[in-house]
Structure 1
Amino acid sequence: MIIDNIRQFIKDKAEQFGAKAENEFNKPYVERKNTGQEALKDNGAYFGFIHPDEDTSGPFHDFSLTIFPNEQNKPWLVCLGIGSSGFKNDYELATYPGLRRLFSNLINERGFCKSDFSDIETSLPKTITGNNDLQHIKNTIKIYSKVLPVCQIVDNPESKEGKEIIAAFVAGYAKLREWPSNKEHRKAITEALEPFLKIEEIDEAEEIESLLNQRRFIVLQGPPGTGKTRTAKLVSAKIKAKTFFTQFHAETSFSDFIYGIRPDVKSKELSYIENLGSFTIALKYAIEHQTEKIVLIIDEINRANLSNVLGPIFYLFEHKMEDSDIEIEIYPGFKINQLPKNFNVIATMNTADRSLAVVDFALRRRFAWYTLKPKPINSKQFFKDDFSRIQEIFDWYANSNELSLQPGQGYFISSSVEEMDNRIKYEIFPLIKEYLQEGLIRNAKEEFNNYFTTRINKSLFE
């Protein structure tokens, strides 16, 4: 019988993923089964796992792995569910962004994932309740409509594709329940999830080069350690451009970047000399060498007061500006109505620096924005285990804004174990501690503390 076969399949997978065999003192889950002939007539037939603290019958609480079957060779519905009694132990878990991130990757266009897993008041959308493929279990779905945060239609549960989907949902439930206790369990879960979590290999330099050709003015944004400045220089070299470099800070001014006057310190009398800023130097070179590509790299662009620094040249940063009658004075005797076509700007911005000035919408419209994310790299000097553990904590506990705080791969490159220990102790540890003191990623405080206590014998709360 197909239902019994799949029941055994998910139990085998659960054991493979770390669910220990039941005994009277310890059980990884409670199995529920309501698949009698009367129930299978669209009267609430289901089977799956519920929280190990729940009873074997009656209403239950918290997250469940729920499968709605049938014996008509028609599609099944595989779900992450919530007991009709709501939450008792899992409410905090329901608020973790990583839980939704995980299960949202397991569904396709014939699935559904709620935006808020703690929501048990909103019903499923018509794409599920009114789906023609599920009319044979429509009453059953209606019964549980408010307590199914994730659903996926499975056409044939015994097919290779069907079993892959079911195994992935069991693996997701295993992570939720923290079943894995060794490398074999974690490896099995990773293999079950891998077909749904494939990370596309992207040539960032190539993408940025293409974007630069289209937009001319771009900002590379991302957390510290993601190689923003290095990538900007790499792209500039890749297109064989003449590179000019400047770094903004809180005191950067119009006279530093565009034009100003400064005291002539070599003169015996008080006098002033002109100062051409980095922008103007690069601009003049571009005008005088129109067959060359020019790239001005502005490092840490949002550390300065951009309105003061850019002044009237802000108008010129329109990547599709046509010939204009409006001339902008760069300095006395030098005016232009548009930036030359061979003049490009690559700026960088650290998304983890909360002390920075807000970038206004007008500037955002004039620049294209490309995000560099932390990623593992192939290098003998890259400490992958430390990177993966920090990434795992951020992925599970950080909201979408807090993800921009994750230390990049640059933090995990060291020439020796001793150097890496010191990087964790004197760079990553203080960074995470500062985040927590500012009230960020607070849900992950115990996970981070456990990592640092185990890794370098230091507690975040000493």
Structure 2
Amino acid sequence: MSTEKIEKIRQFIKQKAEEFGAKNDKEYNKSYVERNNTKPDTLNDNKAFFGFIHPNEELTGAFHDFSLTIFPCAEDKSWLVCLGVGSGGFKNDYELATYPGLRRLFSKLIDERGFCKTDFTDIETTLPNTITNSEELAHIKRTINTYSKVLPVCQIVEKPDSEEGRKIISAFVAGYAKLRNWPSNNDHRKAISKALNSFITNKNTNEVEEIERLLNDRKYVVLQGAPGTGKTRTTKEIAEKINAKTFFTQFHAETSFSDFIFGIQPNLNNEQLSYKQNLGIFTEAVKYATEHTDKDVLLIIDEINRANLSNVLGPIFYLFEHKMDKMNVEIEISPDFKLNNLPSNFYVIASMNTADRSLSVVDFALRRRFAWFDLKPTPIEGKEEDLGNLKVNKINDSNEYFFIEDFLKINQIFDWYASSSELSLQPGQGYFIAKSEEEMKSRIQYEIFPLIKEYLQEGLVRSAKEEFNNYFNKRINKSLFE
């Protein structure tokens, strides 16, 4: 590729930076400093690169902090597009490097020919051999090895001047724009979203159909997610769709084997003390399945991990094998009722609240016997309308609205600051459904606000405390730290 084409890509990147909100028209208020080391004598695998560095850095010499760096080639060969760190290490960006959302964003911009470090603060570990010894990058191998420790993210781009190549480069510039907080208006934000959407937008999945398929294949499924993600609603929808005979129970800390399987209890109708049998909901459901083999039977267990599962399940634990042939032993479920496997028309859907910090741990043996499906906070589609000063989605066939702006703001805070385990705490879409702006404000003040405050008090998502506080101050005029 000629130096003219390198210059063409360089100007394309500067144009994209401007679209994304970068401003470099004032000497003391620049969005970035551009470095361009693409002279002919550097292009022969001699440390040629160009890109953007922190606005406080100098035009020459070693620099610090995150950079948008591109390693080009004068020939018609592949380039390497990177999020890099200056050879001087971190000066202003170390805290930024610790945010999970930064890695979460850039990890979505690469494919099988790219690489993303698990820790962006790590500037001591070198790139893997798939990059440093790639035949596709042999023409710039020495250059890449020079900077191998300070490239947290990189992507091979086969044809930088092609439509696909420009799409990848544009996405990296958009990611750098978010990192540097360039956008200052809706046009900038829309341009960034457009550049990133094809990389970060999740494929639309019909959750009900996917869970139904999983249920048919695995028979015993746990839906796990934060409050408001639709676990109960989804379970009911599946039960209706498969037209199953449904049994329902909810576990709690005192749920026992005698409640769920079989036990005895006092007969309060007799004058003298006597006892009667108590068939638990599990036994009732299984008996129904064995007596009605032409009918699917679904047992719904709400909040499955609120109970001590070893005590509740007892010996029937071993029956939960979705493809188990008959065992050599029979397990007594109740007097005169023994099984060596569960009926083929018997299914279980359980739900688990991942935000409840007081729940019992689900052991690995039980995890192996169930399939696990994550329900994540997801925007609710609908006709977009204006409600006061807010954009909302009118939920079809109802008088309710989905407050998309509030949902997205909370979603963005969690996405940027929450660790992988803390993502399971994010309030689901159910929290953002209301009939009016007044009702939504009430939900924020009396449901979402106390929830976030409790998280912070428990030491969770602490790095996002100022972002949350700013949101609540602006939305309901209330501070988390009064």
TM range (shorter): over 0.9
Partner of 1:420: 440
How far off is 1:313 after superposition? 1.2
Using the alignment, how far apart are the partners of 1:318 and 1:75 within structure 2? 50
Using the alignment, how far apart are the partners of 1:297 and 1:412 within structure 2? 26
Q: Aligned letter for 1:418?
A: E
Moved more, 79-88 or 391-400: 391-400
Partner of 1:390: 410
1:39 and 2:59 are equivalent in the alignment: no
1:172 and 2:175 are equivalent in the alignment: yes
Query: Structure 1 residue aligned with 2:11, among 5, 8, 21?
Result: 8
Using the alignment, how far apart are the partners of 2:24 and 2:470 within structure 1? 27
Query: Structure 2 residue aligned with 1:448, among 458, 468, 472?
Result: 468
Q: Aligned letter for 1:373?
A: K
How far off is 1:69 after superposition? 1.4
Using the alignment, how far apart are the partners of 2:288 and 2:132 within structure 1? 64
* Deviation sequence 1:45-71 (CA, Å, 0-9, x none): 111100011111111100000111121
Q: Secondary structure at the match of 1:274?
A: strand
How far off is 1:406 after superposition? 0.7
Residue 262 of structure 2 contacts residue 280 of structure 2 at CA under 8 Å; is this kept in 1?
yes
Q: Aligned letter for 2:174?
A: A
Q: Aligned letter for 1:168?
A: A
| TM-score (ref. length: structure 1) | 0.98
* Deviation sequence 1:198-239 (CA, Å, 0-9, x none): 321101111111111111111111111111111111111111
Partner of 2:93: 90
| TM-score (ref. length: structure 2) | 0.94
How far off is 1:37 after superposition? 1.7
* Deviation sequence 1:272-310 (CA, Å, 0-9, x none): 222111111111111111110000000000001111111
Query: Structure 1 residue aligned with 2:59, among 39, 49, 56?
Result: 56
How far off is 1:41 after superposition? 2.0
Q: Aligned letter for 2:236?
A: K
Partner of 1:362: 365
Using the alignment, how far apart are the partners of 1:401 and 1:101 within structure 2? 13
Residue 383 of structure 1 contacts residue 414 of structure 1 at CA under 8 Å; is this kept in 2?
yes
How far off is 1:255 after superposition? 1.3
1:111 and 2:114 are equivalent in the alignment: yes
Using the alignment, how far apart are the partners of 1:224 and 1:56 within structure 2? 50
Give the alignment of 1:236-275 within 5 angstroms: 236-275=239-278
How far off is 1:318 after superposition? 1.4
How far off is 1:33 after superposition? 1.1
Q: Aligned letter for 1:449?
A: N
Using the alignment, how far apart are the partners of 1:72 and 1:254 within structure 2? 72
Using the alignment, how far apart are the partners of 2:162 and 2:35 within structure 1? 23
Partner of 1:317: 320
How far off is 1:362 after superposition? 1.1
Give the alignment of 1:368-383 within 5 angstroms: 368-379=371-382, 380=394, 381-383=401-403
Partner of 2:124: 121
Using the alignment, how far apart are the partners of 2:153 and 2:402 within structure 1? 36
Using the alignment, how far apart are the partners of 1:50 and 1:438 within structure 2? 37
Partner of 1:301: 304
Query: Structure 2 residue aligned with 1:143, among 129, 141, 146?
Result: 146
Q: Aligned letter for 2:226?
A: P
Q: Aligned letter for 1:439?
A: G
Using the alignment, how far apart are the partners of 1:128 and 1:235 within structure 2? 46
Using the alignment, how far apart are the partners of 1:393 and 1:4 within structure 2? 37
Partner of 1:408: 428
Using the alignment, how far apart are the partners of 2:360 and 2:436 within structure 1? 38
Q: Secondary structure at the match of 2:327?
A: coil
Using the alignment, how far apart are the partners of 2:136 and 2:278 within structure 1? 72
Q: Would you identify which runs of 4 or more consecutive aligned residues in structure 1 move more than 4 Å?
A: none
* Deviation sequence 1:116-171 (CA, Å, 0-9, x none): 11110011111111111211111111111111111111122221111111111100
1:199 and 2:202 are equivalent in the alignment: yes
Query: Structure 2 residue aligned with 1:289, among 280, 288, 292?
Result: 292
Q: Aligned letter for 1:411?
A: Y
1:23 and 2:26 are equivalent in the alignment: yes
Using the alignment, how far apart are the partners of 1:439 and 1:176 within structure 2? 25
Using the alignment, how far apart are the partners of 2:405 and 2:380 within structure 1? 12
Residue 24 of structure 2 contacts residue 32 of structure 2 at CA under 8 Å; is this kept in 1?
no
Residue 22 of structure 1 contacts residue 28 of structure 1 at CA under 8 Å; is this kept in 2?
no
Using the alignment, how far apart are the partners of 2:155 and 2:324 within structure 1? 48
Q: Aligned letter for 1:228?
A: K
Using the alignment, how far apart are the partners of 1:61 and 1:337 within structure 2? 66
Residue 33 of structure 2 contacts residue 53 of structure 2 at CA under 8 Å; is this kept in 1?
yes
The RMSD of aligned alpha carbons is: 1.1
Residue 18 of structure 1 contacts residue 181 of structure 1 at CA under 8 Å; is this kept in 2?
yes
Using the alignment, how far apart are the partners of 1:444 and 1:247 within structure 2? 34
Residue 61 of structure 1 contacts residue 83 of structure 1 at CA under 8 Å; is this kept in 2?
yes
Q: Aligned letter for 1:417?
A: E
Query: Structure 1 residue aligned with 2:280, among 277, 280, 287?
Result: 277
Amino-acid identity (%): 71
How far off is 1:320 after superposition? 1.6
Partner of 2:389: none
Using the alignment, how far apart are the partners of 2:40 and 2:466 within structure 1? 48
Q: Secondary structure at the match of 2:82?
A: strand
How far off is 1:333 after superposition? 2.2
Q: Secondary structure at the match of 1:173?
A: helix
1:188 and 2:208 are equivalent in the alignment: no
Query: Structure 1 residue aligned with 2:457, among 437, 440, 459?
Result: 437
Query: Structure 2 residue aligned with 1:162, among 165, 171, 184?
Result: 165
Using the alignment, how far apart are the partners of 1:160 and 1:209 within structure 2? 39
